[in-house]
Structure 1
Amino acid sequence: MNPAAPRVLVVDDEAQIRRFLDIGLRAEGYQVVLAANGAEGLGLAATQSPDIVVLDIGLPDMEGHDVLRELRTWSQVPVIMLSVRDAETEKVKALDNGANDYVTKPFGIQELMARLRVLLRQSAKAGQPEAPVRYDDGALVVDLARREVFLHGQPVALTRKEFAVLGMLIRHPGRVVSQQQILRDIWGPTHVQDTHYLRIVMGKLRQKLGDDATTPRWLKTEPGVGYRFPAA
């Protein structure tokens, strides 16, 4: 196998689909990494630096939409969504969440190959692994790729939503990220007005990080607009 060949991460819970794609992709010269659920897929996306991801929507541990939203908090790797759901709303939801393309099952391997080639041509970083995003100011350490948070050397347990919000702010240091942008990217486009969801998560984050809302060190509020994480 050519070590310079593009690496494809396939995340699908159906063993037959994984085997079908593994054989077909390798026959076309790609490197292939396989995952059977969302958590495994996110872990491999962080450690294997794929050039492109083929992601099924119907996974056993979490929706593919949720995997995609989480992935987008720290990576812009091209993603093709797979689903037996052919409804337009599903396709729109996938694209709104950051997918680059959508393929409905069943599909032909040549169609998928053509879509892969298009996305790899479009990707400015094709063949180059993304550098993991890591924040470390001596007190707070956040490794977005490994999904690890430490405060004064002690691990901090965050929920998926808490980690996704923190990750999104860290990826835009010094910039105000609007409430609507956070809600759209993490909760989905139908929740852009549900600001109470975000307030609850921010409150929990501040509590876990010991970040006083009146004199915040990390999670700064821009009243009526959104939130800002300080630049290093």
Structure 2
Amino acid sequence: MSHKILLVDDERMIIEVLEAYLQKEGYQVFCADNGLDALRKADSVKPDFIVLDLMLPDISGEEVCRLLRKESDVPIMMLTAKSGEDERINGIVIGADDYVTKPFSPKEVVVRTQAILRRTRMGEQADGQLSFNSKELVIDLLKKEILLNGHGISVTPIEYRLLSNMAKYPGRVYSRMDLLDKIQEDGFSYEGYERSIDTHIKNLRKKIETDARDPKYILTVFGMGYKFGGVPDAKNAAF
């Protein structure tokens, strides 16, 4: 089954060009020209990837991204005419996985889309395991266990939720607020502050990193938050 992609932009020409390029690659493409329609279609279509313009006629792309992130981890690529560093950082902080500045090459958007979809699916296995760095780190999503070099390690429920959520999307940057939201999903109640995430990350690094001062799994992205840096095992790919 081909991936479903939602294009959100109020410029008809951009929609038509990207739709043609993505359909040529075999993707199912759905389109919206405003934020409210984008949210409705995201809810009904359940896309695998969203290309989202920041300048929309009703609500901003930033707000659409924030609302989507409350419900979904779907990868999001932002399109914008703004090229400043602050805008790019803000886009990533609020939950975007990539950021493309207009004018852009449609081929570049397609290649980036393919790369992100490949990356986000690399760690998913039919048996509910995520495996990284030649099975050095294995996360069993069904048993809720973490194995390091074949041995189970003891983690707190919060540490497990932090690691498992980040590992599902290697390379994606999570702000501290994103991670707070993640550990409070599915009925899990946690009273904490954004900076308390730093303490949990520090403790988790001590358990899974060879050198907690030079981590390879939980990486700090200065000024933004954290990302998972493990390399998904090739056999995990869903293709």
**Aligned position for 1:8:** 5
Matches of 2:43 and 2:8, distance apart in 1: 13
**Aligned position for 2:165:** none
Matches of 1:68 and 1:170, distance apart in 2: 19
Give 3-state SS (helix, strand or coil) of 1:19's partner: helix
**Aligned position for 1:86:** 83
Matches within 5 A, 1:1-232: 4-124=1-121, 171-176=185-190, 178=192, 180=194
The 8 Å contact of residues 74 and 171 in structure 1, kept in 2 or not, is answered as no
Give 3-state SS (helix, strand or coil) of 1:21's partner: helix
Amino acid aligned to 1:92:
I
Give 3-state SS (helix, strand or coil) of 1:42's partner: helix
Question: Alpha carbons of 1:13 and 1:169: their partners in 2 closer, same or farther (altered >3 Å)?
Answer: farther
CA-CA distance at 1:168 after TM superposition: 7.8
Question: Alpha carbons of 1:65 and 1:77: their partners in 2 closer, same or farther (altered >3 Å)?
Answer: same
Matches of 1:179 and 1:125, distance apart in 2: 32
Question: Alpha carbons of 1:126 and 1:34: their partners in 2 closer, same or farther (altered >3 Å)?
Answer: farther
The 8 Å contact of residues 184 and 190 in structure 2, kept in 1 or not, is answered as no
Amino acid aligned to 2:117:
L
TM-score, normalized by length of structure 1?
A: 0.56
The 8 Å contact of residues 36 and 58 in structure 2, kept in 1 or not, is answered as yes
Matches of 1:66 and 1:180, distance apart in 2: 20
Alignment RMSD: 2.5
Matches of 1:177 and 1:60, distance apart in 2: 37
The 8 Å contact of residues 50 and 77 in structure 1, kept in 2 or not, is answered as yes
- Aligned-residue sequence identity (percent) comes to 36
Give 3-state SS (helix, strand or coil) of 2:31's partner: strand
CA-CA distance at 1:171 after TM superposition: 2.9
Give 3-state SS (helix, strand or coil) of 1:77's partner: coil
Matches of 1:177 and 1:55, distance apart in 2: 33
Q: Gaps spanning 5+ residues in structure 2: where?
A: 125-180, 196-222, 224-239
| Number of aligned residue pairs | 140
